[in-house]
Amino acid sequence: MTAEFDYLHEAGKMRGIVFQVGVRADPTLDNVDSFAAILFFQKADGTVVEVAKIDNTEHDDGEIHIDRYYREQDADDKDFTIDVDGVWEADKHLEDNWQHFGRTYLENHGKEGNRG
């Protein structure tokens, strides 16, 4: 999955799991038309599990939003009220909140959760 990102960094480690933030932008990070910043971890078998994603894919309800995969199964995971204006703020938001998102994910889905 790392090849899918323009850059990637470790957010932190919790319960033996390394959480990372990966960022991709199109066409480039210096000239952003679309972007995604993703908080994720990788299982022992190599499966990548997305915990939260902020992107600017347009939806009926708006543009920049967070996909909250850490929420309980069948809970509404899209939130359009996020206070993020671009790719760099999206990266910072995930980095600043990774512990909350990661802990909530593990409580709701466990390390072997079915999202991602």
Average pLDDT over residues 43-60: 89
Which residue, 89, 30, 105, 19, is CA-closest to 56?
89
Residue 110 reports pLDDT greater than 90: no
Phi/psi-derived region of residue 46, left when phi > 0, alpha when psi is between -120 and 50, beta in every other case:
left
pLDDT digits (tens, 9 = 90+) for 59-98: 766 689 999 999 988 777 888 889 999 999 999 999 999 9
Taking CB atoms within 8 Å and a gap of at least 24, the contacts of 62-71 are 64/90, 66/93, 68/101, 69/105, 69/115, 69/116, 70/101, 70/102, 70/104, 70/105, 70/108, 70/109, 71/104, 71/108
Q: Mean pLDDT, the chain, as a whole number? A: 89
Q: Delimit the domains of the chain by residue range.
A: 2-109
Q: How confident is the model at residue 116 (pLDDT cuts 50, 70, 90)?
A: very low
Which residue, 78, 57, 83, is CA-closest to 66?
78
pLDDT at 113: 63
